[in-house]
Structure 1
Amino acid sequence: MKSPSIIVAGGTNLDIKSRIAGKTVPGTSNPGWTETSPGGVGRNIAENLARLGADVKLLTVIGEDAAGDRLRRAARAAGIDTSLMLQRKGATGTYNVTLDSGGQMLIGVSDMSLIDAMKPGDINARKEALAAADLLVADGNLPFPCLKALALIAKRGERPLVLDPVSVPKAKRLLPLLKEGLQIAALTPNRDELGELVGAPVKNERDLQRAAVRLHDLGVGIVLVGLGADGSFLSSAEGGQHFIAARKGSTIKDVTGGGDAMVAGFAYALAVGKSAEMAARKGQELAARAVRSMSNVAAGGKGGR
């Protein structure tokens, strides 16, 4: 089977991850450890896709600094095509996260100023490559004008576009896009991001079902909601609604990157022609592998080409 061609447009940054060794004590110094590694929603999705065997390109911005050089080298080593990557003056983005001893996030701070400065021209200058891909993935780190430019290219080229909101604040960037009626193949929010998109809290199963239908009415074909330890909720405009149970197994080590792995598995399966339900199950499989490792991506796969 031919490897699917997928382009991911979104954030790349240096992750600075700290983990508290014992009980968390607010307002004071806690013993623990810190490490740095390549990260960013778009970058994590791209590496997962490369590990699955996709022909994946990453459209992102890095700084003209040591961190940017490190991220470019790491992307190539992971099997990601960096020919669409932009490098500009300024500091490469960072994501600083603190985890408790159980691997759950306490707080995270992102500095994505270079991504925030992207212009629609950065997207349109690469429209030929984007229009030639089998599937496009974008994350909410992109400014709204860039997201719109990407959605228009996807529409004109009849290429499916998968959008990941990234966070509650950045989910707001997707609202004008949805209201403009541009067709979105799939949207992958978590529960809180879904609430932001529909303007109402999502607390139970009925809320999930109603919120997904509202997004379908705005032109979203598939809604895949990450529910953490509860698995995910899938709603397809054509295939109905399903809950996908979380994979059972070993203890969760680090939740960082679990959602990104879910999006990658889901997008890959869609790109090779799987049904929405089968794609959602592939996403759940990858998410489980990611959170049960200390890495930002799911363990295993090809990588490094």
Structure 2
Amino acid sequence: MIVTITPNPSLDRTYELGTLTPGEVNRAAHDRLDPGGKGVNVSRALTAAGHRTTAVLPLGGLSGQLLADLLRSQGIDVAAVAISGDTRINVSIAEDSGSLTKINAVGPELSAAESAALLALVREDHLGHGVDWLACCGSLPRGLAPEWYAELVAQVHSGGARIALDTSGPALLAALSARPDVVKPNREELAEAVGRPVATVGDAVDAAGELRKRGAQQVLASLGADGMLLIAEEGNWYGSAPVAAVRSDVGAGDASLAGFLGAGGSGPEALAAALAHGAAAVQLPGSVMPAPADLDPAAVVVTADIPLERPLSG
């Protein structure tokens, strides 16, 4: 059983078109509306793979109601805290070239009472009831202090579950001392966390090692098209999964985390599952999460022989 918590969820509207021309009327060839937010996407990917999951999230307004309805229509259990603000709506514009333009709304501000209710919902209703992992994902909304995730990590550990954390900036740094079981930064978030550029695979290994020294038990680092790293006490591994063409990378990192947790959440086999899920996700439209039939495990390569000198693209 894997519970996800998304403090700042969204409805994600994606438009697909040939080429975006700023300042002109652009007509989409296709559009879709998906439930969004990093933890929400993790729950969607887990459900697609046949795992049990519950999505915990604050919801407000008609957009919040629609988000809950979309999740339940996909077979996902929803545990919601009602808030006074409206759940945000994000927009993505995907061009045929693979270019993706995203407009993310700020989202509602949570009151102290709403923040406390969200923590209580996890603590009282979901810990100690056969929960293996709690995945805490995404940015914190206005009203929640950077230490909010750190408090949640401490509560989860006291309840016996393991915690995966996918966030960035001050919230990530504040939570490290609470020793989350795995953190999942991307390249840019790694560089921000250690305060220096990450230009090679070796740089990423060093940065991930620093996060471990600060408290993270494992670091699952996404390097985009250059693959992924898993840095842990048991060993270090690097993997890649070539993709012929990227359709949309929205939610690809979330699909990777779902694959990792669904495969046990440690070791090279879990890293391989993360890579397979991420590679499948970028070949799907919008933030569609991959099903088992979309995966190509044979395309994944995982090794303990890490190419430290390899430069990262971009």
1:15-26 matches, within 5 Å, as 15-22=12-19, 24-26=20-22
> Aligned residue for 1:266?
260
1:214 to 2:210 alignment: yes
Q: Distance in 1 between matches of 2:206 and 2:61?
A: 46
Q: Which moved more, 1:155-164 or 1:116-125?
A: 116-125
The answer to whether structure 1 residue 120 and structure 2 residue 116 are counterparts is: yes
Any gaps of 5 or more consecutive residues in structure 2? Answer: 294-314
SS in 1 for 2:181: strand
What's the counterpart of residue 152 of structure 2?
Answer: 150
The change in CA–CA distance for 1:29 and 1:193 in structure 2 (over 3 A counts) is farther
Between the aligned partners of 2:249 and 2:161, the Cα distance in structure 1 is 31
Q: C-alpha deviations, 1:156-193, integer Å up to 9, x for none?
A: 1232110112xxxx433221222xx2111101111001
Q: Deviations over 1:210-251 (max 9, x none)?
A: 101111101111111112222212211222x22211244x53
Letter in 1 for 2:251: G
User: Where do residues 56-75 of structure 1 align in structure 2 (5 Å cutoff)?
Assistant: 56-65=53-62, 67-75=63-71
Match of 1:54 among 51, 54, 67: 51
Q: Identify the residue that residue 11 of structure 2 maps to in structure 1.
A: 14
Q: Distance in 1 between matches of 2:151 and 2:51?
A: 24
- Answer with 13-22 or 217-226: which moved more: 13-22
Could you say what the CA RMSD is over the residues aligned between the two structures, in angstroms?
Answer: 2.3
Equivalent of residue 173 in structure 2, options 172, 175, 181: 175
- Which residue in the other structure is 2:234 paired with? 238
CA offset digits 1:116-146 (Å, max 9, x no partner): 8751342134313332211110013233343
**CA–CA separation in structure 2 for the residues paired with 1:188 and 1:138:** 10
Match of 1:224 in 2: 220
- Paired with 1:74 and 1:54, the residues of 2 have a C-alpha distance of 18
Whole-Å separation in 2 of the counterparts to 1:108 and 1:297 = 18
Distance 1:138-1:77 versus aligned 2 partners, 3 A rule: same
Amino acid at match of 1:163: L
Could you tell me which residue of structure 2 aligns to residue 184 of structure 1? 180
SS at structure 2 position matched to 1:36: strand
Query: Which stretch has the larger CA shift, 195-204 or 105-114?
Result: 105-114
Provide closer, same or farther for how the CA distance between residues 50 and 209 of structure 1 changes in structure 2, counting only shifts above 3 A.
same
Which stretches in structure 1 are left out of the alignment for 5+ residues? none
Matched residue count = 284
Do 1:182 and 1:219's aligned partners in 2 also have CA atoms closer than 8 Å?
yes
Distance 1:205 1:301 in 2: 29
TM-score, with normalisation over the residues of structure 1?
Answer: 0.85
Counterpart AA for 2:241: A
State the partner residue of 1:291. Answer: 282
Amino acid at match of 1:254: S
C-alpha distance in structure 2 between counterparts of 1:154 and 1:218, whole Å: 19
Contact 1:115–1:141 under 8 Å retained in 2: no
Moved more, 28-37 or 101-110: 28-37
1:38 and 2:32 aligned: no
Amino acid at match of 1:151: V
Which residue is equivalent to 1:100? Answer: 95
Where 1:136 maps in the other structure, the secondary structure is: strand
Measured against aligned partners, the alpha-carbon deviations of 1:64-117 in whole angstroms (never above 9, x if no partner) come to 31x2222111111212111x2123232121212233323332343233225687
Mean CA deviation greater in 121-130 or 145-154? 121-130
| Letter of the 2:127 counterpart | A
Identity of matched residues, %? 27
Does 2:82 correspond to 1:87?
Answer: yes
Q: Against the structure 1 CA distance between its residues 301 and 129, is the aligned structure 2 distance closer, same or farther, given a 3 Å change threshold?
A: farther
**Distance across 1 between alignment mates of 2:32 and 2:74:** 19
**Paired letter, 2:162:** P
